[in-house]
Chains A and B, each alone.
Chain A
């Protein structure tokens, strides 16, 4: 079972977490076309490589943002979720 080495918590097994999907940036709903909006709602980035992902630790109720290489399935970086971190991940 994979381990997530989280700030504040230390190494925790994967089954203590809920995967929250990739970090995504919502397009402006007022200006995007139906097609752009549908793309945001329904399509996900499946390209192998480094992804920014939401991971939720169930026992503590803490959201983390993890950087994971989906080719090697290795976590490169895990941090507390915060608006600043999200901004960085969204642009990354």
Chain B
């Protein structure tokens, strides 16, 4: 019968009796108080049956009341796996138990108990496997029964912030030793983060310390005052430090989200987990840990029972008995596992109060009535048969503790078992780690406070850890485990593992601690064995007749405590790169595809995919098409050794290339494997422009830089992949379209195939290359990113009368296939040398050296594959898929690497990589289709289309074409608008300054050049000098500078005039997205996006290149009279991503939508 177990008001209680809270459990209404947890409120209402066990669905209730009551997990409408023992009560909460079929009282799952004999330890390896045909049935059933709770995928999405925090000292655990450490570290001037899983600081202070300990009370008062007032002490309640990673990087799981803490030192003051005794029916509601009962008494004024028996093996048991007695709970008996001569000094006092102490006795079994405890049978340890029964509704166990050491293990501490203390203790700590309090074996309050204080000081000062001192007295029983003929003596309540399960597993040979865990699943439940592992080790050690250290312990891995996936995901930042023409593709109804981080148009239009692609291909063949190829890597290679570098990096020859020529570039690695390809254009004697594949750009640039250093070459490299956009204008009409916009001589003689030109198109400085990748007359136009949007618009406008059509990646793939051009990574793989793709022609063996040359000399003799072209009937092309195998005489002899239907050629065409021996003199081979059918294909030499490049050689007629009238208003990219600032008095504000002059100067002559412009230069790397008109200059490398002009228009114009590469000096007008970010909350925002400390980011004389929101950025702090704000830049391809990410986060913070369009703006000058 439900009745109130709430005791009269106590001084130290955490509940607020003025604030009642109504909630529902299993559909019934209850009332608790603010400050209650779900479990405490239910117990207060007399509800003792709170859950069902995982495997046998046995009735369960509160056991530890310490965040590990796994059998009392509940679900609400929006959350599963609510830990009722620690979850604060909230108004209107409606809960149901998670592992129940029917109701808690009538759980149909309890029938599983009768199947227990069929479910021995490791049953899933043993039973249900024969007969085989029944296994699917069993599997379905087991899958339905296994797992706790149901996932409702329609639950509201919630984004958690994920901040990075820095502190000098992180103190984990706010008990007596942790508080002493935190206060001492503060006194030493350290910044401190203090975290504890409880709602309030104090740990066991109060509840496990008798009132006489005024020193403890005084410490708690001081600590509470410091938490309230001291800004250098950052307190996190309800928070678990869940993981310890390299260099003191820890995961702090708070209710608001995950914090990533980088700590100078870490003080582990996590205390101990109380451990249960193992006896028959030790899982009944009413059997619990004494410390849990004390927490319920002190914090929530709940009496867990009316008449208690205390199972004791330490002094804490007697202190508990005195407290319960005082609180009006009848103590029926104290059953002490120790002999009479080992009893503590408090024992006679018990007798005087009329409490019988049974020394040398144990609880043989617990008795059940109405799904809860009704009494216990107590026997002398040496005479197990001679029992007497004591009636009680509570059995409180106080037989031992295990150190809460998972973080110590994770961090790499060595732990050793101390026999006199009966506890595992840290004997060596990793650098910067300190352990204090009960986790380090100190139980005496005065000692814990003293050691905590000393440890806090040592942590703040970076001194050696303080040695563990104090009484060598055991607070844990060496073996609180008792056999019983009927079993049901549970070692692990998470997984319903009984003593016999472990004994059987050991007998079956799983007698290593790690094997035993995996076979029996002990410690694998949601509490990760916090109340089971120690007994498990003791049981195994005894079975094997060896010590605890020899037995060892399982590996502790993150997380100590479950962390929701949403918290790990944080804001789910997913960097995406977009080209400057992105908004225009959207206007053209692009269908997007992701290629690495890049978003590219697959094809355009709303029609059927195949038709759209064929129409785009047709436009390129018949009139003109335009494709965005900005994703290509682009690298500027400048210097006296530029030719030498390229000669050594690529397989072909570049020394004799004329200025203005372009040449194919194939890169292999040291093993001779193809890694990248592109085009090299010679802009000047010592100036090259190198393109790479879209995905290969970062790696190729890295490799170039590395080789320049390794070979000691005099070359300047700049990765201009996203500073430059590129588009390929292709088709018979392409020259005429271009002629509307440029005065460049486009005739065959003036601009022949495979040449490059630097020219102005629509008054924009561009670099053009006549390339043949898609097989028609075409121009690859490279243009600074900030002008690309406008240029694309103008080309589309000029091409309108010719029927210009944008084309996507798919059309380009088909067009290049017709020409037999390979795509690295599609027609080649991680084992292909140039010989394997029939590109031996691209190797200049006569060069003295290039990367991979030596390996290719070997591979030329024994490369296994070759690449062939093949054709088949047009109607069958769609049946073949890339990667379909080529089969001959039952053996795999190759695979299809590319396939397409060429409407132009009226047949299906493809490339296949075939075994060289097989391909020799062969005309036909067989492809095995995905459905198993075989299809014949005929070998046809590639290129399939225009093998003699006649399309590139014809006359180019551009006479009499009128220049296009350029409307003055043609827009820059939306990202490069004029400076727009939201209200700089807001909590957070942002401004886009991308249109303002930003220049990069690189080259040996850079110093002199800038000095001549009257600019004072910073000396050291990454130093910044502020300039007039809001500008700055930073040194970003050996001879590399970043110049931001601010409102200095004169400087901007004069630098603008030098843009280009002359005499080894490169001046780039950068197209970075370039923002100002400020406001009071800017530090919080940055800590969510950046792993560096704000201190390191906030020095105005220093520019920082780091990762922000997962992408590379530069951050330059600025200061005006009112505030510090940040100038942030990233490469233009990430611009929209960064802008949108910041807008979203700012909007969330300000609680209204934020963006260029939706906010009141005012123009200001910084």
The reply to whether the CB of B422 lies closer than 8 angstroms to some CB of chain A is no
User: Which residues from chain B contact A81 at a C-beta distance below 8 Å?
Assistant: 706, 709
Are A29 and B702 in contact, with the CB atoms below 8 A? no
**0/1 interface trace, chain B 1092-1114, chain A, CB 8 Å (1 if under):** 10001000000001110000111
Rounded to whole Å, the gap between the CB of A36 and the closest CB of chain B is: 10
Say whether B719 faces chain A, with CB atoms less than 8 Å apart: yes
Partner of B1106, one of A18, A29, A40, A59: A59
* Residues in A neighbouring B53, C-beta threshold 8 A: none
A2, A9, A59: the one contacting B1113 at CB < 8 Å is A59
Pair B854/A37 contact, Cβ less than 8 Å: yes
Residues of A with C-beta under 8 A to B1021: 8
Across the interface, which residues of B come within 8 angstroms of A2, CB to CB?
246-247
State whether B1112 touches A59 (Cβ < 8 A).
yes
Majority SS at the chain A contact face:
mixed
Contact status of A86 and B705, CB under 8 A, knowing A9-B1022, A15-B1107 = no
Chain A interface bracket (under 10, 10 to 19, 20 to 34, 35 or more): 35 or more
Determine the distance from Cα of A58 to Cα of B1108 in the docked complex, in whole angstroms.
Answer: 12
Whether A20 and B709, one on each chain, are in contact in the complex, defined by CB atoms closer than 8 angstroms, is no
21 residue pairs A–B, Cβ–Cβ below 8 Å: A1-B249, A3-B247, A13-B249, A13-B1092, A16-B1107, A29-B853, A29-B854, A38-B858, A40-B670, A54-B706, A56-B702, A58-B698, A59-B1114, A61-B719, A63-B702, A63-B705, A63-B706, A63-B709, A81-B706, A83-B709, A83-B711
Contact B706 A13 (CB under 8 A): no
User: Which residues of chain B from 691 to 708 have any CB-CB distance to chain A below 8 Å in the complex?
Assistant: 698, 701-702, 705-706
A9 contact set on B, CB distance < 8 A: 1022, 1105
Q: Kindly report which residue of chain A lies nearest to residue B701, judged by CB atoms.
A: A61
A14 CA to B245 CA in the complex, in Å?
A: 12
Find chain A residues with CB under 8 A from B854 CB: 29, 32, 37
Partner of B1107, one of A29, A37, A54, A59: A59
Closest chain A CB from B646 CB (angstroms): 18
Determine the chain B residues whose CB is within 8 A of the CB of A86 once the complex forms.
709-710
Residue of B nearest to A34 (CB): B858
A1 and B246 in contact, given A58-B1112, A63-B709 (Cβ under 8 angstroms): yes
A83 in contact with B247 given A16-B1106, A56-B702, A61-B719 (CB within 8 Å): no
Q: Is B712 an interface residue (CB 8 A)?
A: yes
Apart from A3-B246, A59-B1105, A61-B705, 13 more pairs, CB < 8 Å: A1-B245, A1-B247, A3-B247, A8-B1020, A10-B1096, A15-B1091, A15-B1107, A29-B849, A42-B671, A56-B706, A58-B1112, A62-B1037, A63-B709
Write the chain A residue with the least CB distance to B709: A81
Which of B849, B1112, B1114 has the largest number of chain A CB atoms within 10 A?
Answer: B1112
Q: Whose C-beta in chain A lies nearest to the C-beta of B431?
A: A74
Q: Let me know if B1036 is at the binding interface, CB within 8 A.
A: yes
Min C-beta distance of A1 to chain B, whole Å = 5
Say which residue of B706, B858, B1022 sits within 8 Å of A20 (CB atoms). Answer: B706
B706-751 contacts to A, CB under 8 A, are 706, 709-712, 719
Q: How far is the CB of B551 from chain A (nearest CB, A)?
A: 26
Cβ contacts under 8 Å, B1107 to chain A: 15-16, 58-59
Does A45 lie at the interface of the complex (its beta carbon under 8 Å from any beta carbon of B)?
no
Whether B855 is near chain A, meaning CB under 8 Å from some CB there, is yes
Identify which of A13, A34, A42, A63 gathers the most chain B CB atoms within 10 Å of its CB. A13
List, in ascending order, chain A residues with CB within 8 A of B711's CB: 83
A26 to chain B, nearest CB (A): 8
User: In the complex, what residues of A have CB within 8 A of residue B247's CB?
Assistant: 1-3
User: Which residues in window 5-36 of A have CB below 8 A to B?
Assistant: 8-10, 12-16, 18, 20, 26, 29, 32, 34
A83 to chain B, nearest CB (A): 4
Bound-complex Cα distance A20 to B1114 (A): 23
Which chain A residues have a beta carbon within 8 Å of chain B's beta carbons?
1-3, 8-10, 12-16, 18, 20, 26, 29, 32, 34, 37-38, 40-42, 54, 56-63, 73, 81-83, 86
In the bound assembly, the distance between CA atoms of A3 and B1107 in angstroms comes to 14
Residues of B within 8 Å of A16, CB to CB, are 1091, 1106-1107
The distance in angstroms between the C-alpha atoms of A42 and B1105, with both chains bound, is 35
Which B residues, 620 to 677, have Cβ-Cβ distances below 8 Å to chain A? 670-671
Give the nearest-CB partner of B1038 in chain A: A80
Q: Give the residues in chain A near B1036, CB-CB below 8 Å.
A: 60
* B702 contacts A18, C-beta separation under 8 Å: yes
CA distance A56 to B1105 in the complex (A): 13
Supposing A37-B855, A41-B855, A61-B719 touch, asked if A82 and B1106 sit within 8 A by C-beta, the answer is: no
Closest 4 CB pairs of A and B: A29-B854, A59-B1112, A59-B1105, A83-B712
A13 touching B1091, Cβ below 8 Å: yes
Task: Give chain B nearest CB distance to A21 CB in angstroms.
Answer: 10
Question: Which chain A residue lies CB-closest to B672?
Answer: A41
Task: Tell me the nearest residue of chain B to A75, going by C-beta.
Answer: B247
Instruction: Name the B residues within 8 Å of A62 (CB-CB).
Output: 1037
Q: Which residues of chain A have C-beta atoms less than 8 A from B245's C-beta?
A: 1
Which B residues lie within 8 Å of A13 (CB)? 249, 1091-1092
B710's closest neighbor in chain A, by CB?
A86
Nearest CB to that of B706 among chain A residues? A63
Q: Which residue of A lies closest to B247 (CB)?
A: A3
Cβ contacts under 8 Å, B709 to chain A: 63, 81-83, 86
- Choose among B858, B1021, B1105, B1114 the residue with the greatest number of A CB atoms under 10 Å from its CB: B1105
B846-864 interface code vs A (CB 8 A; 1 in, 0 out): 0001000111001000000
Closest Cβ neighbor of A10 among chain B residues = B1096
Give chain A residues whose Cβ lies under 8 Å from the Cβ of B1022: 8-9
A29-B849, A56-B702 known; A12 and B1106 CB under 8 Å?
yes
Most buried by A among B701, B702, B1096, B1113: B702
The chain B residue sitting closest to A32, CB to CB, is B854
Closest CB of chain B to A12's CB: distance in Å? 7
Closest-by-CB residue of A relative to B249 is A1
Q: Which has the most chain B C-beta neighbours within 10 Å: A3, A38, A59? A: A59
- The CA of A34 and the CA of B1037, in the complex, are separated in Å by 40
Task: Enumerate chain B residues within 8 angstroms of A3, measured Cβ to Cβ.
Answer: 246-247
A2–B248 alpha-carbon span in the complex (Å): 8
Q: How far is the CA of A32 from the CA of B1037 in the complex (A)?
A: 38
Contacts of B670 in A (CB 8 A): 26, 40-41
A78 to B1096, CA, bound (A): 19
Complex: chain A residue closest to B1022, CB-CB:
A8
CA A82 to CA B853, docked complex, whole Å: 25
Q: Which of A14, A16, A29, A57 is packed against the most chain B CB atoms within 10 Å?
A: A29
Q: Mark B965-998, 1 if CB is under 8 A from A, else 0.
A: 0000000000000000000000000000000000
**B673 and chain A: residue at smallest CB distance:** A41
Task: Give bound CA distance, A38 to B862, whole Å.
Answer: 14
